[in-house]
Amino acid sequence: MPEGNIIHRVARVHGRWLAGRRFMADSPQGRFTEGARALSGRVLQRVEAHGKHLFYGFEGGVRWHVHLGLFGNIRHFRSGAPVPSEACRLRLSSPHATLHLSGPQACELLTPEDEATLRERLGEDPLRPDASVERARELLCRGRQPLAQALLDQERLSGVGNILRAEGLFLARLPPLMPAGALDEEGFARLWEVLRRLLADASRDGHIVTPGAPPVPEGVPGRKRAERFCVYGRAGLPCPRCGAKVRRQELAARGLFFCAGCQGVDAVLRPRRVKKPAKRQGRLLDPAGGVTMGE
C-alpha cells in the first residue's frame, strides 16, 4: 500500500498537471458508471492529500475521493493513451492528459458533509501544513497498545506505513513495543520530526532514503538501489548504528523490523517509586536517618 509520501507526491503532480483541465470520464470496468457521468465534462479545480487519501474537487462542487489500498494503481499518459484494462475503474481523458485508475480500495463521490466526516476520522498528517502537533500527540500517546502498532492506525497518525514506521522508530531511538501511552513529550517530538522529515524527503524524491542507511547490495531481488533503509527488510543484517543484528517479528500480522541493540524492544523508563515515610508509635522515621516527633 502506498505510504503518505507517495500520495502527497501524486497530489502535487496532479495539481500541477491536471488541475485546470476539463475531462471526459467513463468507467471501462462498469463499477463507477454513475460517478463517472457526474465527473464528465467538468474542470478539475483542486487535488489534496491527507495521509493515504486523495481528494479531488471538480467545478460545480463535485468531490471525488480515492484510496488506493493494497492493489490500487494510477497510470498517466500525456497523449496516445492505450486502451484501458478490464480492471480500469475510472478513465479521465482530455486532449493532453489521460488518467487510468484501477483496483482502488475506495473510488467514490462525496458530499461536503461526507468529506468533512471522513477527514475528521483521520489522524494528523505530518506533511500537511495545517497538522496539529498537539492533537497528533494526544491521539498517538494513549492506551497500552504497542507504539509500533499504534503508528499504523490511520486514525492516530495518517500516512505512516510499515517502512516509515520501522525507519522512524529507529531514527528516533524508540522501543517499538513500548506502550503508546508511555511515550513522553520529548520522545513524541523526536518521532514527529523524524517522520515529517522522512515523508517530506520521500515525497520530493519519489523514494525513501533513511539517513545513515547502508547501500543496497548488488543482486537483492525486489529492491530498488535508490531505496535505502536502516532496518526495514534487513532482518539478520548488522545495524548500521551499533552493529547488532536487525530483528524481525510479527506484530498484528505485519512484519516489524528493529534493532534491539540500540532501540530496545519494550524497555520503558519509569520513575522510581519513592516510599512514603513509615509511621511507628507516633513517630516518623526520617528518610535521611534521623527521627522526628509525629504530630
Write out the catalytic residue numbers: 2-3, 52, 254
- In the chain, the amino acid numbered 292 is T
Helix-then-strand count for the chain, H and E: 8, 13
Is 91 strand, coil or helix? Answer: strand
User: In angstroms, rounded to a whole number, what is the distance separating the alpha carbons of residues 45 and 42?
Assistant: 9
**DSSP helix/strand/coil, 287:** coil
CA atoms within 13 A on the CB side of 252: 12
Number of neighbours of residue 30 by Cβ within 10 angstroms: 11
- Cα angle 45, 51, 53; round to 5: 50
> Cα separation of 51 and 64, whole Å?
16
Nearby residues of 162 by Cβ (< 8 Å), 6 or more positions away: 152, 232, 254, 255
Is 130 in a helix, a strand, or coil? coil
